[in-house]
């Protein structure tokens, strides 16, 4: 899982059924986060040496609406990633890790500035209407 490259503590982590396993739930909790991994259809809520998994499944059973709401924030992230990759491609051209991080950071900065400009233009157009 990509969380191994994240330094420091993490918050809420959402994942789809492909990432849903006890090992990932344990990893999220060990890094200070709370897992919201959508379990597969046949998933058991038994701990099997993973209390993080059991707590997540118990929360899902007790508060299904809250679990779904938190999990589906993932769709906003997915649509942003899709838009970002469509505009700036999904590849990095740098070879070394620290220059890849710099390149990705600059792409995100440009994307955010572009979105800010677009939202300001939309706001001005609404004023004129």
State pLDDT tens for residues 86-104: 998 889 999 999 999 999 9
**Cα separation of 36 and 55, whole Å?**
11
pLDDT at 63: 94
Query: pTM of whole model > 0.85?
Result: no
Q: Per-domain residue ranges for the chain?
A: 2-71, 89-128
- Mark out the alpha helices in the chain (DSSP H runs): 22-30, 51-62, 64-71, 73-88, 97-128
């Amino acid at each position: 899982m990509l969380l191994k490259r994240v330094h420091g503590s993490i918050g809420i982590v959402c994942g789809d059924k492909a990432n849903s396993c006890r090992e990932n739930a344990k990893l999220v909790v060990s890094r200070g986060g709370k897992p919201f991994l959508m379990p597969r259809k046949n998933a058991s809520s038994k701990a099997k040496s993973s209390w993080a998994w059991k707590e997540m499944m118990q929360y899902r059973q007790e508060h299904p609406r809250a679990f779904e709401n938190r999990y589906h924030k993932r769709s906003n992230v997915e649509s942003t990633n899709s838009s970002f990759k469509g505009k700036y491609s999904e590849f990095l051209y740098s070879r070394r890790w620290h220059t890849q991080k710099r390149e990705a950071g600059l792409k995100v900065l440009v994307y955010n500035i572009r979105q800010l400009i677009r939202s300001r233009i939309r706001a001005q157009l609404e004023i004129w209407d």
